[in-house]
Chains A and B, each alone.
Chain A
Amino acid sequence: MGKMMKVMFRRHRPVLLLLLGVMLVIWGVSFAEAVSSYHEIDHFTPTTVAEYKRDNPGVTTAEAKREIPKMRKASLSYYPQSTIDKLGWAPTGNFVQSVDPVWLIAVVVVGLICTGWDSLSGFDRFLFGLGRRKDAYWSRLSVYGGAVALFTLVRYALDMVGMPLAVGATYDEMTLFSGVALIGLNELYALSCFLFAAVVALLFGNFVAIVCAPPLLLSLGLGAFARVDHWLVQLGLGPGGERFFLYMLLVVVCGILLWLGERLYRSRSAEFDGHFLTTPRLYWPLFGLSWVAFILALLDSLSWTRWGLLVPLLLLVAGIVFGMRGRLHGRFGRWLARI
C-alpha cells in the first residue's frame, strides 16, 4: 500500500493543492464575514460603562458593570436570520442549513473529479496491476480523506486563533457570530458525505455510478437529514447538538449498510472492471432510492441553497451524458438511450 500511496499522492498533488486553495478562499470569505458582523453588532451594543450610563441615566457604575455583560449577551444572541441558519441552533433552522455548502460541494466535486479521472484514465487499472484493489481504493481514500481532514483542521485552527485576534474578542463571543463552533462539525459532516460518496465509488468503480450516485446519495443524505431534522423539531427535540448526534448515528448506520452491501457485492461477483452493466443488482434499488431522495431534497429545496441543488443536478446530467457515451448495452442501456 505504501507504493500506491506514493504514486497516488504524486498523481493527485495538483488537485490537492487546488483543494487547499479553495479551502483558503472559503475560509477567507467566512473569516471576513464573521469579523464584519461582529463589528456591526458593536455599533449598537454598549460596551463601556460611560456608554451604558449615557443610555441609562441614574444607574451606578457597579450596576453598569453588572448589566453590560448581560446586555451584551442578550444582543449577541439576537443575531440575524442568516446566522441562525448558519448555526442551525434556532428551532426553525435545520442542520442542512448549518452545513457550509460551498466547502461541502468543493470537497465532493474534487473527490468525484479525482475518482472519475482515475477510473477513466486507467490509473485504477494501473494500481490493480500492482496489488490488491482494496489497497488501491483505500490509498485514494487515505490521500484524499487525509488531505480533507488536514485542511479542515487548518481551517478550524485558523478560526480558533485568528478570529479572536482580529477583533480583540473572546473566542466564545466570536463563536456566536461565525458559527466557528460548528465549523469543525460541518467539515466532519462534509467528510462523512465524501466518505459516503467514496464508498459508493469504491463499490461500483463505474463512471456513471461514480458521477451520478454520489450526488444522488448526497441528496439522499441531505434530503433525509432535512426531513428527519424537521420531524425531530416537531417532536420537540432540542437544539443542534442533540440532533447532530442523531445525524452522525444515521451516517454510521448508512455506512454500515453500505459496508454490508459491499460485502454482499464482493461475495456475489468477482468482477469489478468498471463496466456499466456489470454492477450488481444491489445497485439499482440504491439508484432508485437515490432518485426518490433527490426529489425529496428538491421538494425541500427551500431549506437548501440553489447551488447545492444545481451542482449535483449538473453532475447527474454530466454523468449520464459521459457515462452513456459508448457504454450503452443491453435492455437498460437501450431504455436509457431512448429517454
Chain B
Amino acid sequence: MELTVDHLGLAIAGKNVLQDVSFRWQQGQVLGLVGRNGVGKTTLMRTLTDQYRAQQGGVFLGDAALCHHPALRQQLLYIDPVNLFFKHNTLAQISRYFAETYEQFDAGRFARLAADHDLPMGKQYGELSKGYQALVVMALDLASNVPFVCLDEPFDGLDLFIREAIVKNVIAAVANEDRSFLIASHDLRELDGLADRVLFLRNGTISHDYDLESLREKAVKLQLVFKDAEIPQVVRVHGQILNVRGRVLEVLFKDYDPVVEAAVKAAEPVLAAPLPLELSDLFRSEYQDNEGERVHG
C-alpha cells in the first residue's frame, strides 16, 4: 500500500502555506519532515488528514482520493498535539472514544501500553505531565493499528528515557507490523537514526526529498583549512559551507565524485578531514544563507 500526496496546495488568509507539495509514502517507511518554524509542517499533517481542506491536489491511498473516500481515512491517523479534544477525559474514556471511531483500535493493547509506562487509566489526560501525555498519544497511535501515522514533534521537551521509549515503539511497529510514520521534528538527531527518508519543507513546498542512506554514499562533509583567506573555487561551486571557525571550514559536498575530490586536493588544503554527515548538516545546508562565506571573507 502506498500513500501519494499529489500537488497539494493550501492558502490560509490569502497566504500560500502549502504549494505543490508532492511525495510518495510507502507502507513500512519512516519519513522525517523537517523545516524551519512556521514553514507549514503541522499544516501539512492537518491537510493530509483533511482537518484542513486542500485547495489544490489531493491525497491518494492507492488510486483512491481520501477526500472522495472518507472511509479510507481510517488508514491515516494524526493526533494533533495542539488541538486535543480529550484533555478533560480519563485515559479509559479516551480509549472508548477511539474504540468507537477506529474499527481496528485495540483497547487491550492501549491498556497494556499504558500499564507498561505506569499511566493510570483513571487519570485525566490534562493532569498528566508532558512526557506522559506524549506517551499516551504514542500509545493511541500504536493501539489504533492504523497503517499510516503522522507524529508531530513527538520528542519535544521529553527526557531521554521517554524519547527512547518512543523510538523503540516506532521501530517495533515498523519492523513487526509494517506500520508507517511521518515524523515532523526539530530533533534532528533522533530523526537521523529513525527516518528512511527526510522531506525538507521550504516556502510551503518540498524542496528536497533525501534518502539518507543513498545520500551518505555520495555526500561528504569535510573540515578544511586553506593557506589563503580566499575560498577556493571548488568549494564555492561544488560545496556548501556549513560552519566557519577562524580559517577552519566545515563544507558539505553533496556529490563528492572523483572529479570534486581531485579539485579539492588540487586546492592544497592544509587540513582536509572527513566528518560524520548528520541530518543537522543537511538542515543547515538547506536553510542557512551564505553566512559562512561572509564570515570567512
- Mark A residues whose CB is within 8 Å of B: 3-4, 6-7, 10-11, 118, 121-123, 125-126, 128-133, 135, 269-273, 275-278, 329-330
Contacts of A273 in B (CB 8 A): 12, 46, 51-53
What are 29 A-B interface contacts by the 8 Å CB criterion? A3-B101, A7-B97, A7-B101, A10-B100, A121-B87, A122-B80, A122-B82, A122-B84, A125-B46, A125-B51, A125-B83, A128-B49, A129-B49, A130-B70, A130-B74, A131-B73, A135-B70, A269-B55, A270-B53, A270-B54, A271-B12, A271-B53, A273-B46, A273-B52, A275-B12, A276-B13, A277-B13, A277-B14, A330-B14
Cα–Cα distance between A123 and B233 once the two chains are bound (Å): 56
Contacts of B84 in A (CB 8 A): 121-122
Contact code string B12-26 (vs A, CB < 8 Å = 1, else 0): 111000000000000
Residues of chain A lying within 8 A (CB to CB) of residue B54: 270
B71 touches A131 (CB 8 A): yes
A130 touches B73 (CB 8 A): yes
Q: Are B50 and A129 in contact (CB under 8 A)?
A: yes
User: Contact at B80–A10, with CB atoms within 8 Å?
Assistant: no
> How many angstroms from the CA of A130 to the CA of B84 in the assembled complex?
15
Query: Whole-angstrom distance from the CB of B221 to the nearest CB of chain A?
Result: 40
**B138 within 8 Å of A by Cβ?**
no
Residues of B within 8 A of A128 (CB): 49-51
- Chain B residues lying within 8 Å of A278, measured Cβ to Cβ, are 12-13
Chain B residue numbers with a CB within 8 Å of A275 are: 12-13
Q: CB-CB contacts of B54-97 with A at 8 A, as 1s and 0s?
A: 11000000000000001101101110101111010000000011
Note all chain A residues with C-beta closer than 8 A to B11. 271
Q: How far is the CA of A126 from the CA of B77 in the complex (A)?
A: 10
Chain B residues contacting A125 (CB-CB under 8 Å) are 46, 51, 80, 83
Highest count of chain A CB atoms <10 Å: which of B11, B49, B84, B100: B100
Q: How far is the CA of A129 from the CA of B46 in the complex (A)?
A: 9
Provide the residues of chain A in CB contact with B82, threshold 8 Å: 122
Complexed CA–CA distance, A3 and B99 (Å): 10
Bound state CA distance, A123 and B87, in angstroms? 11
Query: What chain B residues lie within 8 Å of A126 (beta carbons)?
Result: 85, 101
Most chain B beta carbons < 10 A, residue from A6, A11, A125, A273: A125
Cα separation A329 to B17 with both chains bound (whole Å): 15
Q: From A118, which residue of chain B is reached at the shortest CB distance?
A: B85
Q: Give the residue name and chain of the A residue nearest to B71 (CB).
A: A131
Q: Which 4 A-B pairs have the closest CB atoms?
A: A122-B83, A123-B85, A125-B51, A131-B70
Candidates A121, A129, A269, A276; contact of B51 at CB < 8 Å: A129
Shortest beta-carbon distance from B114 to chain A in Å: 20
Contact between B101 and A130, CB atoms less than 8 A apart: yes
Contacts of B74 in A (CB 8 A): 130
Complex Cα distance, B89 from A123, in Å, reads: 13
B residues less than 8 Å from A130 (CB atoms): 70, 73-74, 101
- Name the B residues within 8 Å of A6 (CB-CB): 100
CB <8 Å contact, A270 and B100: no
**Which of B10, B70, B76, B96 is in CB contact (< 8 Å) with A271?**
B10
Nearest-Cβ distance from residue A44 to partner chain B, whole angstroms: 56
Extra inter-chain contacts (18) besides given A125-B83, A273-B53, A278-B13, CB under 8 Å: A3-B100, A3-B101, A6-B100, A7-B101, A10-B97, A11-B97, A122-B80, A125-B46, A125-B51, A128-B51, A130-B73, A131-B70, A269-B55, A271-B11, A271-B52, A272-B53, A273-B46, A276-B13
Q: Please measure, in the bound complex, the distance between the C-alpha atom of A297 and the C-alpha atom of B96, giving whole angstroms.
A: 46
State in angstroms the CA–CA spacing of A38 and B50 once bound together: 58
Task: Report Cα–Cα, A276/B12, bound state, in Å.
Answer: 10
In the complex, the answer to whether B46 meets A10 with C-beta atoms within 8 Å is no
